[in-house]
C-alpha cells in the first residue's frame, strides 16, 4: 500500500509517498529534504497534534487552553471529551495546569489566557 | 489641548510592538489607544497554536503571543487607554477620541502610528444570490462567538473561502461537535497555509472543493442550505454542475481588508493594491509624522511579520520625533513588475539596508525574483516555490540604494 503525505515542515509542501507493507515502511520518496522523511514517518506511524480549545469558567464565559505538547491524533476525540469536562475557577494565569498528565506520558492541559 | 509625543492607535500586536520599539528608541511620552476592553487585538480570539515560530522559535497560541508583548508594554509602564474609540485624526496630527470616563477629548500628537488592523470582507461584498436568512457569518465572527463568548453558531456548516481563518474554523467547529460539510474555494488553489489544509481539513476528513462557489442561499428565517456549483476558468459558475447542500450555517472566509477609515480622514494617500497607506522604508505615510504598520498597512499571513514591521514603524517614529521632522536623502520608488501584486514599502528615502515585502499574483514553482532598474538587472535570487498566500521578501543593500538614487526599482518574477 502507498500513502501520500503532504509535508508541512516548510512552505514547499512536498508530496511525500510512503510505501507500506502492512505497518512496515518500505520506502519513502518525493521528499526533498531529511525533514520530509521524518515528518512522513511520524505521520504514518503515530501522528501527533497539539489540542487547542476552550473550557468553561465557573462564573460563565470560556477560557482558552492547549495541550503543552502534541498528543496522539488517534485519541483526540477522547481527550476533547475529558477537556470539555473541566470547569476553571478565577484567577487563572497563562500556563496554569488545569488537567495534569492527560495521556499518561506527562502532557498537561494548560490555560493560554489570563482570567482575573 | 493635551500634547503627547507619540500616539499609537490600536493595542493589538502591531500597536504594542510599535510602542515598545519607539520607547526603546528613546521616546518616553507614549499613549496607546485601544477600543476593546483589553489589549491583544484579534489574537485574543485566535486560540489555536502556530504563532511565533519565526520570532520565538516556538509555537504559541494567539493570546500567549499577545501576552508576551503586553508584558513588554507593562514592564516599560507605557500608558494605554482601553474602551477608547478614536473618532478622527487630522493631517496635522490632532486626534479626537472618546471613552465613557473622559468623554470626547483631543490630543495633539508629535507623531501617530496607525495600527488599527483589518476587517473581514462581508457577504455584501460577494453579491451572492438568494435569501437573507440568519446563520451567515464571517469566519472571524463565528470565531469570536465560540472562543470568547462560548456560543456555537450552528451544527451543519458550509464554509466559503479557504483562507486561513476559514480552515481554522473548520477544525474548531468540528472539535466542538458541529458537522463541517465542505470548504469551497473559488480559485483553483487555496489561499491558506498547507499546514492548515492538512491539520484542519484532511485530519477531519473535510473536503476542499477548489473552483467551486455558492450560487444561491436558501432559507427564510434560518439558512436551510446552499446551492453550490463548479466555476470555469473565468470563475463563472457552470450551472450544469449545480447541486443543493443542506446546512444551517454558512461561514465566509473570503479575504481581509485593512481598516483605513481614520487613515482617509487624515488625507493619507492609499495604495490601490494593498488598500493600505503608501509608505517609505520607515513605514511613514505620505503625510509627515503619520506612520502605519501591521494589517492596517497590508494584510500579513503571519503575526511574526507584523511584529517585525511594527518595530520598524516604532523606530521610524522615534527617529522622526528626534530629528524634528522628516529627512530624505534619496527618492527611490519601488514598483511591482511581472508576476508581483504589490511591494511594500513603495518608496525608499534613505540609503539604508531595506527589506522589501511583496506578494506574487499566482502559484509558481522554480522562479527567480529579480530586482531591476529599467532594463538593468541589479540582483536575482531563486525561489523553489512562491504562492499568493505567502509573503516574500527581498533585501536591498545600502550600496545598491546609493547607486540608484532617484530611480524606480521594479521587483518581478522570471523563470529560473
* Tens of pLDDT, residues B292-351: 999 999 999 889 999 999 999 999 999 999 998 777 777 899 999 999 999 999 999 988
Domain termination site, one of A45, A61, A77 = A45
Q: Which secondary structure element, helix H or strand E, spans residue B261, and what is its range?
A: helix B261-265
Question: What does the pLDDT read at residue B367?
Answer: 94
In this structure, are A36 and A76 located in the same domain?
no
Instruction: List pLDDT tens digits, range A5-59.
Output: 888 877 667 889 999 888 888 899 888 888 889 889 888 888 899 999 999 999 8
Mutation to test the B interface, candidates A43, A81, A109, A113, most B Cβ within 10 Å:
A113
Question: For the whole model, what pTM was predicted?
Answer: 0.92
Nearest CA in chain B to A94: B64
Name all contacts of B263-267 with Cβ < 8 Å and 24+ positions apart.
Answer: B263/B114, B263/B116, B263/B292, B263/B296, B265/B88, B265/B89, B265/B90, B266/B89, B266/B90, B266/B91, B266/B93, B266/B112, B266/B290, B267/B91
SS3 A116: coil
Instruction: List pLDDT tens digits, range B309-320.
Output: 999 999 999 999
What CATH code is carried by the domain that includes residue B272? 3.50.50.60
Domain termination site, one of B327, B342, B374 = B327
Contact A11 B387 (CB under 8 A): yes
Distance, CA of B229 to chain centre? 30
Contact B387 A54 (CB under 8 A): no
In this structure, are B290 and B381 located in the same domain?
no
Mean pLDDT (chain A, rounded): 91
Cβ–Cβ < 8 Å for A112, B64? yes
Domain count, chain B: 3
Q: Residue B367 corresponds to which cell in the numbers above? A: 522562479
Q: What are the residues whose beta carbons fall under 8 Å from the beta carbon of B203, sequence distance 6 or more?
A: A49, A73, B171
Give residue A8's domain range. 2-45
Ramachandran category for residue A101: left, alpha or beta (phi over 0 → left; psi -120 to 50 → alpha): left
What pLDDT band is residue B370 in, cutting at 50, 70 and 90?
A: very high
Question: What does the pLDDT read at residue B240?
Answer: 97
SS3 A87: strand
> Is position A76 within any domain?
yes
What CATH code is carried by the domain that includes residue A96? 3.10.530
Contact B49 A50 (CB under 8 A): yes
Specify the residue for cell string 453579491: B127
Chain B CB within 8 Å of residue A48 CB = no
What CATH code is carried by the domain that includes residue B365? 2.60.40
Q: Which secondary structure element, helix H or strand E, spans residue B58, and what is its range?
A: none
Chain A CB within 8 Å of residue B353 CB = no
In this structure, are B53 and B105 located in the same domain?
yes
Question: What does the pLDDT read at residue A11?
Answer: 63
In this structure, are A15 and A41 located in the same domain?
yes
What pLDDT band is residue B117 in, cutting at 50, 70 and 90?
A: very high
Chain A CB within 8 Å of residue B145 CB = no
In this structure, are A87 and A64 located in the same domain?
yes
Chain B CB within 8 Å of residue A35 CB = no
Report the alpha-carbon distance of residue B188 to residue B182 in Å, rounded. Answer: 15
Report the alpha-carbon distance of residue A37 to residue A116 in Å, rounded. Answer: 45
Q: Across the strands, what pairs with B212?
A: B230
Name the phi and psi angles at B52, rounded to 5: 90, 5
Q: How far apart are the first and last CA of chain A?
A: 53
Omega before residue B345 within 30° of 0, cis: yes
Chain B CB within 8 Å of residue A66 CB = yes
Cβ–Cβ < 8 Å for B226, B217? yes
For chain A, what is the total number of helices (H) and then of strands (E)? 2, 10
Cβ pairs bridging A and B (under 8 Å):
65
Cβ–Cβ < 8 Å for B180, B251? no
Instruction: List pLDDT tens digits, range B220-272.
Output: 999 999 999 999 999 999 999 999 999 999 999 998 999 999 999 999 999 99
Give the angle B283-B287-B288 at the CA atoms, nearest 5°. 75
Q: Residue B245 corresponds to which cell in the numbers above? A: 447542500
Chain A CB within 8 Å of residue B146 CB = yes
Calculate mean pLDDT across residues B89-100: 97
For B220, other C-beta atoms within 10 Å of its C-beta total 10
Give residue B407's domain range. 328-416
Listed range (A95-99, B54-58, B80-84, B107-111) with the worst mean pLDDT? B54-58
In this structure, are A83 and A36 located in the same domain?
no
Q: Which of B287, B328, B314 is nearest to B93 (CA)?
A: B287
Contact A8 B61 (CB under 8 A): no
In this structure, are B242 and B285 located in the same domain?
no
Nearest CA in chain A to B67: A113
Report the alpha-carbon distance of residue B402 to residue A106 in Å, rounded. Answer: 57
Question: What does the pLDDT read at residue B29?
Answer: 98
Domain termination site, one of B297, B327, B357 = B327
Got the DSSP string for B6-49?
EEEE--SHHHHHHHHHHHHTT---EEEE-SSSSSSGGGGG--SE
Instruction: List pLDDT tens digits, range B13-71.
Output: 999 999 999 999 999 999 999 999 999 999 999 999 989 988 998 889 999 999 999 99
Q: What is the ipTM of this complex?
A: 0.87
Chain A CB within 8 Å of residue B64 CB = yes
In this structure, are A98 and A57 located in the same domain?
yes
Share of chain A above pLDDT 90, in %: 58
Chain A CB within 8 Å of residue B195 CB = yes
Listed range (A44-48, A89-93, B6-10, B280-284) with the worst mean pLDDT? A44-48
Beta strands B364-373 and B249-252, pairing class: unpaired
In this structure, are A56 and A107 located in the same domain?
yes
Question: What does the pLDDT read at residue B409?
Answer: 96
Nearest CA in chain A to B173: A53
Distance, CA of B336 to chain centre? 19
Report the alpha-carbon distance of residue B108 to residue B5 in Å, rounded. Answer: 8
Amino acid at each position: 500500500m502507498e500513502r501520500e503525505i503532504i509535508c508541512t515542515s516548510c512552505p514547499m509542501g512536498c508530496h511525500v509517498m510512503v510505501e507500506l507493507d502492512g505497518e512496515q515502511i518500505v520506502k519513502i520518496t518525493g521528499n526533498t529534504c531529511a525533514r520530509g522523511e521524518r515528518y512522513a514517518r511520524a505521520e504514518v506511524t503515530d501522528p501527533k497534534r497539539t489540542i487547542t480549545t476552550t473550557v468553561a469558567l465557573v462564573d460563565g464565559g470560556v477560557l482558552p487552553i492547549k495541550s503543552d505538547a502534541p498528543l496522539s491524533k488517534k485519541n483526540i476525540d477522547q481527550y476533547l471529551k475529558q477537556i470539555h469536562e473541566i470547569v476553571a475557577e478565577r484567577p487563572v494565569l497563562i500556563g496554569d495546569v488545569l488537567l495534569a498528565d492527560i495521556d499518561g506520558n506527562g502532557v498537561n492541559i494548560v490555560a493560554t489566557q489570563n482570567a482575573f | 489641548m493635551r500634547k503627547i509625543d507619540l500616539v499609537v492607535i490600536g493595542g493589538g500586536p502591531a500597536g504594542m510592538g510599535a510602542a515598545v520599539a519607539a520607547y526603546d528608541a528613546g521616546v518616553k511620552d507614549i499613549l496607546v489607544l485601544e477600543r476593546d476592553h483589553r489589549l491583544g487585538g484579534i489574537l485574543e480570539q485566535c486560540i489555536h497554536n502556530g504563532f511565533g515560530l519565526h520570532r520565538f522559535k516556538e509555537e504559541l497560541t494567539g493570546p500567549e503571543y499577545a501576552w508576551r508583548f503586553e508584558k513588554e508594554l507593562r514592564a516599560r509602564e507605557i500608558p494605554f487607554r482601553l474602551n477608547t474609540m478614536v473618532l478622527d485624526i487630522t493631517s496635522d496630527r490632532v486626534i479626537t477620541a472618546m471613552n465613557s470616563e473622559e468623554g470626547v477629548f483631543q490630543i495633539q500628537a508629535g507623531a501617530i502610528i496607525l495600527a488599527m488592523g483589518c476587517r473581514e470582507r462581508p457577504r455584501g461584498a460577494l453579491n451572492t444570490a438568494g435569501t437573507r436568512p440568519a446563520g451567515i457569518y464571517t469566519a472571524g465572527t463565528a470565531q469570536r462567538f465560540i472562543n470568547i463568548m462560548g456560543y456555537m453558531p450552528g451544527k451543519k456548516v458550509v464554509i466559503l473561502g479557504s483562507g486561513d481563518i476559514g480552515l481554522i474554523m473548520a477544525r474548531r467547529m468540528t472539535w466542538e461537535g458541529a458537522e463541517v460539510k465542505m470548504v469551497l474555494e473559488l480559485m483553483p488553489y487555496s489561499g491558506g497555509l498547507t499546514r492548515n489544509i492538512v491539520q484542519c481539513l484532511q485530519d477531519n476528513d473535510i473536503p476542499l472543493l477548489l473552483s467551486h462557489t455558492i450560487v444561491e442561499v436558501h432559507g427564510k428565517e434560518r439558512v436551510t442550505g446552499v446551492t453550490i456549483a463548479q466555476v470555469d476558468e473565468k470563475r463563472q459558475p457552470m450551472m450544469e454542475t449545480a447541486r443543493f447542500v443542506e446546512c444551517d450555517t454558512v461561514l465566509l472566509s473570503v479575504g481581509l481588508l485593512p481598516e483605513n477609515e481614520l487613515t482617509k480622514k487624515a488625507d493619507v494617500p492609499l495604495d490601490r493594491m494593498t488598500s493600505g497607506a503608501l509608505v517609505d522604508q520607515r513605514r511613514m505615510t505620505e503625510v509627515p509624522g503619520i506612520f502605519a504598520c501591521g494589517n492596517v498597512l497590508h494584510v500579513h499571513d503571519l503575526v511574526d511579520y507584523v511584529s517585525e514591521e511594527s518595530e520598524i514603524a516604532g523606530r521610524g517614529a522615534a527617529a522622526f520625533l528626534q530629528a524634528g521632522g522628516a529627512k530624505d536623502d534619496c527618492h527611490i520608488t519601488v514598483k511591482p513588475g511581472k508576476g508581483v501584486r504589490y511591494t511594500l514599502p513603495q518608496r525608499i528615502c534613505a540609503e539604508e539596508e531595506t527589506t522589501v515585502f511583496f506578494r506574487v499574483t499566482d502559484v509558481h514553482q522554480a522562479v527567480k525574483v529579480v530586482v531591476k532598474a529599467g532594463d538593468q538587472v541589479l540582483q536575482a535570487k531563486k525561489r523553489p516555490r512562491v504562492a499568493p498566500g505567502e509573503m516574500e521578501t527581498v533585501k536591498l543593500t545600502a550600496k545598491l540604494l546609493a547607486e540608484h538614487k532617484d530611480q524606480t526599482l521594479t521587483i518581478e518574477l522570471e523563470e529560473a
